């Protein structure tokens, strides 16, 4: 048949499959083929690049900030080569753009991938496109379509949230990050001197891969951090003096270890968020 019948109506004429094979006309990928094809590998590669470079960039830049390394602990000991951070920024935000465009094109082709990993890719790409939309100098103005790309990812997440509860937390985090960066970019002095440490819960949520609602903590951090700081300092924290009596306590090393892990768990980036924090564990159940 040179015509196909669908829903009682005739479609426009199409070439026989034999002719299409001769012309090497490829057919569109279905959802399964997309999920296990090169595009999915592209998502893995793009998201890996994004996560690797993102951890070194300041959480709270200013409107005048250019590409630079970390301003929060742990700091780098050596100076980066000339042009290092400019190249890193290009890779970071190009990866965010690639993910956004790939998901948008897949959606236009009818391949709606509603899996947790793809959702996390959309969430991460949306956040980075939001970041560079509000602070364009962090990529030297090389992301002019950041707002559109951010909206591509948000459109995906709006559908995703109806399938997976994970999406609710991610959309909420993006709304609070958008509020923070909108205020910071509009009023330079509003969060002057503030860093990642002042937005610890929001920073954790950006790496989150589980259903956790931190909306109240996000708002408290955003509202509580307003106002100019007396100065911007990034000094090393003071070393704690341990009395001799405590050194004799055999349980002290374990206590110090647990305290350090709990205090600095957010420094581990994404990987610390794949399991519950110590506060989330009911030790009574374990002992029972």
Q: Give the domain ranges of the chain.
A: 28-227
Q: Give me the half-sphere count of Cα atoms (radius 13 Å) on the Cβ side of residue 9.
A: 3
- Alpha-carbon distance of 55 to 236, in angstroms, equals 19
* 3-class DSSP string for the chain: CCCCEECCEECCCCCCHHHHHHCCCCCCCCHHHHHCCHHHHHHHHHHHHHHHHHCCCCCCCCCCCCCCCCCCCCCCCCCCCCCHHHHHHHHHHHHHHHHHHHHHHHHHCCCCCCCHHHHHHHHHHHHHHHHHHHCHHHHCCCCCCHHHHHHHHHHHHHHHCCCCCHHHHHHHHHHHHHHHHHHHHHCCCCCCCCCHHHHHHHHHHHCCCCCCCCHHHHHHHHHHCCCCCCCCCCCCCCCCCCCHHHHCCCCHHHHHHHHHHHHCHHHHHHHHHCCCCHHHCCHHHHHC
Query: At 6, which helix (H) or strand (E)?
Result: strand 5-6
CA distance 65 to 68: 8
Closest to 143 (Cα-Cα) out of 153, 154, 134, 152: 134
Q: For residue range 41-79, what is the model confidence (pLDDT) as tens digits?
A: 899 999 999 999 999 999 999 889 999 999 988 899 999
Among the ranges 100-114, 164-178, 222-236, which has the highest mean pLDDT value? 164-178
Residue whose tokens read 């990928």: 29
Mean pLDDT check: name the lowest of 162-176, 191-205, 225-239.
225-239
Directed axis angle between helix 166-186 and helix 116-134, to 10°? 10
Position 246 pLDDT exceeds 50: no
Average pLDDT over residues 194-202: 94
Q: Please state the pTM of the whole predicted model.
A: 0.70
Instruction: Encode pLDDT of 103-137 as tens digits.
Output: 999 888 887 788 999 999 999 999 999 999 999 99
Identify which has the larger pLDDT, 38 or 206: 206
């Amino acid at each position: 048949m040179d015509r196909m019948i669908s829903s009682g109506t005739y479609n426009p004429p199409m070439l026989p499959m034999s002719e299409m094979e001769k012309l090497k006309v490829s057919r569109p990928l279905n959802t399964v083929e997309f999920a296990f094809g090169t595009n999915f590998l592209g998502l893995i590669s793009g998201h890996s690049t994004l996560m690797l470079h993102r951890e070194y960039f300041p959480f709270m830049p200013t409107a005048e900030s250019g590409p630079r390394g970390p301003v929060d602990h742990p700091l780098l000991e050596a100076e980066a080569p000339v042009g290092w951070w400019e190249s890193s920024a290009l890779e970071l935000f190009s990866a965010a753009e690639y993910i956004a465009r790939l998901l948008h094109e897949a959606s236009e082709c009818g391949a709606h991938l509603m899996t947790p990993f793809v959702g996390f890719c959309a969430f991460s790409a949306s956040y980075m496109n939001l970041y560079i939309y509000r602070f364009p100098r962090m990529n030297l103005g090389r992301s002019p379509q950041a707002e559109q790309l951010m909206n591509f990812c948000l459109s995906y997440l709006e559908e995703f949230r109806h399938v997976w509860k994970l999406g609710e937390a991610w959309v909420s985090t993006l709304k609070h990050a958008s509020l923070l960066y909108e205020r910071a970019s509009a009023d330079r002095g509003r969060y002057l001197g503030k860093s990642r440490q002042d937005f610890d819960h929001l920073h954790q949520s950006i790496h989150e891969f589980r259903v956790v609602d931190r909306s109240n903590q996000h708002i408290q951090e955003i509202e509580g951090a307003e106002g100019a700081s007396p100065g911007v300092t990034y000094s090393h924290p003071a070393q704690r003096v341990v009395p001799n009596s405590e050194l004799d306590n055999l349980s002290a090393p374990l206590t110090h270890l647990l305290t350090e892990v709990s205090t600095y768990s957010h420094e581990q980036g994404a990987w610390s968020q794949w399991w519950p924090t110590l506060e989330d564990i009911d030790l009574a159940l374990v002992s029972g």
